[in-house]
C-alpha cells in the first residue's frame, strides 16, 4: 500500500513567521509531488508542484523535494492569517498516474 504521511497538526505559527509543513511518502518510483491548500468547507486548490530534487520557489511559497529521503516539504514565508487552512501533500503514482494524498496538516496563523 503506497502511502503519503503528514502530521495532522494543528501547526500554530505567529503572523509573519515561517511555517514549515512536511510530508513523507513510501513509493520510491513516485516522480511528481503536489501541495494543495484546502479551506474549511472548500475544495483543494493547487499551490505548487515539484518534480526534481531541490527547491522550487513561487512567491512566499517554497517546495522542497528530497527523493533519496522520500521527503517533501512546503515553506510559507511571512505567514498571514489568510494562510490558515489544511495543506494536503500528494504523490503521483508513476505507473497508474493516480494521486495519493496525505491526510493533511492543519495550519493556524495567529494574528
Partner 1 sequence: DAEITQSPRHKITETGRQVTLACHQTWNHNNMFWYRQDLGHGLRLIHYSYGVQDTNKGEVSDGYSVSRSNTEDLPLTLESAASSQTSVYFCASSESGSGETQYFGPGTRLLVL
Q: Which of 25, 34, 35, 87 binds partner 1 (CB under 8 A)?
A: 34
Give least dist CB 103 to partner 1, A: 4
Spatial contact of 7 and 105, defined as CB atoms under 8 Å apart: yes
Residue 58 near residue 48, CB atoms below 8 Å: yes
Specify the residue, 4 or 19, whose C-beta has the smaller distance to partner 1.
Answer: 4
- Strand, coil or helix: 83: helix
Q: Does 53 bind partner 1 (CB under 8 A)?
A: no
Stretch that binds partner 1, among 17-25, 27-35, 58-66, 76-84 (CB under 8 A): 27-35
* Residues 109 and 100: beta-carbon distance below 8 Å: no
CB nearer to partner 1: give 71 or 99.
Answer: 99
Q: Which of 20, 27, 99, 108 binds partner 1 (CB under 8 A)?
A: 99
Amino acid at each position: 500500500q503506497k502511502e503519503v504521511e503528514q502530521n495532522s497538526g494543528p501547526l500554530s505559527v505567529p503572523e509573519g513567521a515561517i511555517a514549515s509543513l512536511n510530508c513523507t511518502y513510501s513509493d520510491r518510483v513516485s516522480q511528481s509531488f503536489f501541495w494543495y491548500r484546502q479551506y474549511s468547507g472548500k475544495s483543494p486548490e493547487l499551490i505548487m508542484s515539484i518534480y526534481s530534487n531541490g527547491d522550487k520557489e513561487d512567491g512566499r511559497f517554497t517546495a522542497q523535494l528530497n527523493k533519496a529521503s522520500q521527503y517533501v516539504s512546503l515553506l510559507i514565508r511571512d505567514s498571514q492569517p489568510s494562510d490558515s487552512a489544511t495543506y494536503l501533500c500528494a504523490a503521483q503514482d508513476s505507473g497508474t498516474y493516480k494521486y495519493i494524498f496525505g491526510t493533511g496538516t492543519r495550519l493556524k496563523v495567529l494574528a
